[in-house]
């Protein structure tokens, strides 16, 4: 897949497939984003524990080898990432993670990553895109609603010793997003 270069009057965004060389930057971005985004409702030590167990370099390398991923760059610096998988049995495309550096939100990185996943899913013949968002992450939840997602289920999600509610949502991608 070629890098997708999007430009508007404010920023120059590049979306491209992740590379092994990106994993250290993804690890740093993940921890920063989680502490800022989830720190008001998940204890920092549990966020760090989850990060150490699921985003160590070896764990992230396993994800790299198992799933597809994209990165979003602003001015050639990694500022966002996403990880996705497919479910042939249920014919849907699943975004496992989509995170944008909190200092860079509102510049179109999340939307660009989401649109690229829609494009990839459509090319592979998938009709629905699924994802989960933590119930207390209201800004992300509201953003996904604006993008056309509907949320119909909840699941428990373990972060260290804490359990949080994850809202499970989907959107039809037959004709793209909002």
Band (pLDDT 50/70/90 cuts) for residue 88 is: confident
Q: Is 81 exposed, middle or buried (0-12, 13-18, 19+ CB in 10 A)?
A: buried
Domain with 155 in it: what CATH number? 3.40.630.30
178 within domain boundaries: no
In a domain, 177, yes or no: no
pLDDT band at 8 (very low <50, low <70, confident <90, very high): very low
Q: How confident is the model at residue 173 (pLDDT cuts 50, 70, 90)?
A: confident
The answer to whether residue 6 scores a pLDDT higher than 80 is: no
pLDDT digits (tens, 9 = 90+) for 139-166: 999 999 999 999 999 999 999 999 999 9
Nearest to 64, CA basis, from 1, 22, 110: 22
The verdict on residue 80 lying in a domain is: yes
What is the span of the domain harbouring residue 148?
4-172
Whether 9 shows a pLDDT value over 80: the answer reads no
Any domain includes 132: yes
3-state secondary structure 133-146: EECCCHHHHHHHHH
Would residue 141 count as lying in a domain?
yes
Give the pLDDT mean for 36-56.
97
Question: What integer pLDDT is reported at residue 34 of this predicted model?
Answer: 97
Count how many domains the chain has.
1
In a domain, 74, yes or no: yes
The predicted-structure confidence for 62-81, as pLDDT tens digits, reads as follows 999 999 999 999 989 999 99
Within a domain: residue 157?
Answer: yes
């Amino acid at each position: 897949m070629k890098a997708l270069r999007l430009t508007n009057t404010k920023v120059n965004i590049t979306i491209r497939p992740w590379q092994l060389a990106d994993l250290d930057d993804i690890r740093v971005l993940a921890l920063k984003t989680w502490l800022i985004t989830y720190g008001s409702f998940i204890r920092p030590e549990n966020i760090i524990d989850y990060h150490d167990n699921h985003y160590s370099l070896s764990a992230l390398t396993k994800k790299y080898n198992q799933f597809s991923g994209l990165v979003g760059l602003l001015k050639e610096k990694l500022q966002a990432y996403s990880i996705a998988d497919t479910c042939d049995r249920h014919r849907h495309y699943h975004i496992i993670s989509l995170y944008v550096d909190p200092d860079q939100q509102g510049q179109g990185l999340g939307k660009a990553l989401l649109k690229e996943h829609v494009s990839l899913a459509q090319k592979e013949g998938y009709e629905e895109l699924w994802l989960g968002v933590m119930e207390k992450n209201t800004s992300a939840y509201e953003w996904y609603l604006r993008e056309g997602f509907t949320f119909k289920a909840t699941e428990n999600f373990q972060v260290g010793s804490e359990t949080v509610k994850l809202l499970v949502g989907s959107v039809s991608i037959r004709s793209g997003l909002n």
